Every structure is written in C-alpha cells, then in structure tokens.
Amino acid sequence: MKNKLLICILSSALFFNTASAQDSFDTTSTAKKYKTGMAIYGEVGLLGNNSFKGIRNEMRALGIKPFENVMASIVLAKRIETEKFFMESRLILMNSTKYSQDENVAKGIFRGIGIGVDASPKFVNTKRWNLLVPIGWDLMLYQVKVKNDRTASFSQVVQNPNAYDAAKFHNGSFNLHAGIGADYKMNLFPKIYDQVYISGKLTYHLPIVRMGSWRGDDVKVTDLPSFKPNQLYAQLGLVFFPKKSHRMWGRMH
C-alpha cells in the first residue's frame, strides 16, 4: 500500500508537468478558453475526530508527549478553470507535530502527505465572485512517529544503536470529499497577475478505503487505534493567475 501511494504521488507530479507543457503550447488560430494558476491554502479540521484523539490518548498513557490535537495541512494546488468550470490538482502536506526542545522526553509526531483533485461547475460567476460545489478525492499516506531527543556519547550509540532509533509506523486511506466553496476576485498587482482570488472551501472528507492497522517496516501494531480522517475541514488561501511575462514559481506552468 505504501509503495502504491508513493507511485500515485509520482504520477501526480507527472500530471503537473504534462499540464504545464499543454499550457505552454499556444496556437495563433484559436484563443485559449481556459486559464491556469497556482494556489496555496491552509486547511484545518473543525470537528473532533475519535481516532485522532484515541492515538493521542494511547501515547499519553505510555508517558509519550502527544502531538497537537489540531488536524492541519498546507495544500499546494494547480488550478485550471473556464468561465463555467474549475479543477484543482492538490498536494497535501499534513503536520500536527508539537515542536519543543525538551530533552529526554518521548514525543509523538503525526504527519501526512497525499495527492488529490477538486472539481466543480461554477454555479455563480460574476466580476467579483465564483460560487462552487467542489467534489473530489484525496489519496493520503500518514505517519506516526515516536522520538526522544536524548543526548548520548558516541560509544553509547555505537554499543546500543537500537535504543536511539525512533519508532515509525505508517497508514493510508483513499478519501472522497464534497462541500461548498467561494472565490473572491481581487485586482491585486495587475502588472504581474491577471487575477488574484481569496478562495475558501468547507468540505467533509469520508474515507472509502483504508489500510487498517498501523504498520512498521517489519511489524503490524494491533492495539494503536487506526486513523479515520472523516472530518469537516475548512480551507482558506490565495489563487494566483500570473501574466505570461511573469511566470510564478519558475516554469511550473
């Protein structure tokens, strides 16, 4: 499952490059009827999640300082849209780690990475607003890690290296999501951008296929609650449509 998820992530990167090449191709006979842009969003879970809470409680019971109780992600996206439709290819970077400098204290880390797609007709498209009903999917790989920022001498590490390894387990799921969204169109930096949007979405994510138990390199953990990312998420960010003479983020599109 882990290898399949990594293959899908690489396939998504190939999709981004292919879309970029298509966008760069231009003909003199036909005007381009779509536009492409890049977006960056912050995404946060709004409701309680029992499986997320269960993992934190299990860590606390073992004397491990758990990760934060907020499910938060940074989402990087490429948007393609016409007058009546929009689609986004998404790269999701999730991290609920509680960072601290405490030494000799075991700490829990929760991370996730994934790819996904959002699409919707534009139910309203005015000079200032787009109103959307985004529907899509995400393919996610999650990691739970327990580490201890201990100090030790070189001889201690050499004589007992396993004592200083972090425990790492992974899990994954295929999620469907649907909700509502809106874009507010702003005339910012007109010399650089054709348009800039403030974009927000409220979506519910429902896992359809999951790995089940957490797994390490050579072990399956039977008593750690499996992660079920069913949750209501709020997403807010900016979408940029650069002019041809001002390519954003290098040559990505």
* CATH code assigned at 139: 2.40.160.20
pLDDT value at 49 more than 90: no
- Whether 132 maps to a domain, the answer reads yes
CA distance linking residue 84 with residue 23, whole number of Å:
19
Mean pLDDT computed over 188-205: 92
- Whether 209 maps to a domain, the answer reads yes
pLDDT value at 20 more than 50: no
Give every CB contact of residue 106 below 8 A, 6+ residues apart in sequence: 62, 63, 64, 65, 146, 147, 148
Question: Which residues pair with residue 136 across a beta bridge?
Answer: 118, 177
pLDDT value at 32 more than 80: no
- Whether 197 maps to a domain, the answer reads yes
How many domains are there within the chain? 1
What letter represents residue 132's amino acid?
A: L
Handedness of CA 137, 58, 144, 237 (dihedral sign): positive
Handedness of CA 123, 129, 130, 131 (dihedral sign): negative
Question: How distant is the alpha carbon of residue 237 from its chain centre?
Answer: 13
Note the pLDDT of residue 103.
Answer: 62
- Whether 28 maps to a domain, the answer reads no
The DSSP output letter for 162 is: G
Residue 173 in contact with residue 210, Cβ under 8 Å? yes
pLDDT value at 21 more than 50: no
- Whether 26 maps to a domain, the answer reads no
Mean pLDDT computed over 34-63: 91
> DSSP characters for 177-204?
EEEEEEEEEE---TTTEEEEEEEEEEEE
Comparing 48-52, 119-123, 137-141, the range with the smallest average pLDDT is 48-52
Domain enclosing residue 103, as ranges: 2-9+37-242
- Whether 15 maps to a domain, the answer reads no
Comparing 11-15, 137-141, 219-223, the range with the smallest average pLDDT is 11-15
- Whether 108 maps to a domain, the answer reads yes
- Whether 23 maps to a domain, the answer reads no
Note the pLDDT of residue 99.
Answer: 65
pTM: 0.79
CA distance linking residue 133 with residue 136, whole number of Å:
10
Cβ-based neighbour number of residue 15 at 10 Å: 14
